[in-house]
Amino acid sequence: MHRLVKDTGFWLKVGSVRYRTTPYSWGSPPPGMQETQDANVISLDRGLQLVDSTGAFLETILTNIAEPSGPTSESS
């Protein structure tokens, strides 16, 4: 996907878990995205400073996941 949008004027936003992701490997040619050249790293770690707002955000996500979706049927 990176190669498709490179030098086109489009922005590609990708999220991943930092310690579970290998965005770049050395080689010839080197595959992947290099930090500072092809991608920027943005920390989304909120830590314990924003416990209330982080808790509210996670509760909203959980509520949306827990809501039933799609057709339902009742059995007699």
- Give yes or no for a contact between 33 and 39, defined as CB atoms under 8 angstroms apart: yes
Rounded Cα gap, residues 53 and 50, in angstroms = 6
pLDDT grade, residue 68 (50/70/90)? low
Q: Which two tokens stand for residue 28?
A: 């010839």
| 27 alpha carbon, distance to own chain's centre | 26
Structure letter (DSSP) for residue 32? B
pLDDT greater than 70 at residue 1: yes
The per-residue pLDDT for 19 is 73
The residue-averaged pLDDT of 42-51 equals 73
Rounded Cα gap, residues 70 and 47, in angstroms = 35
- pLDDT top residue among 38 and 76: 38
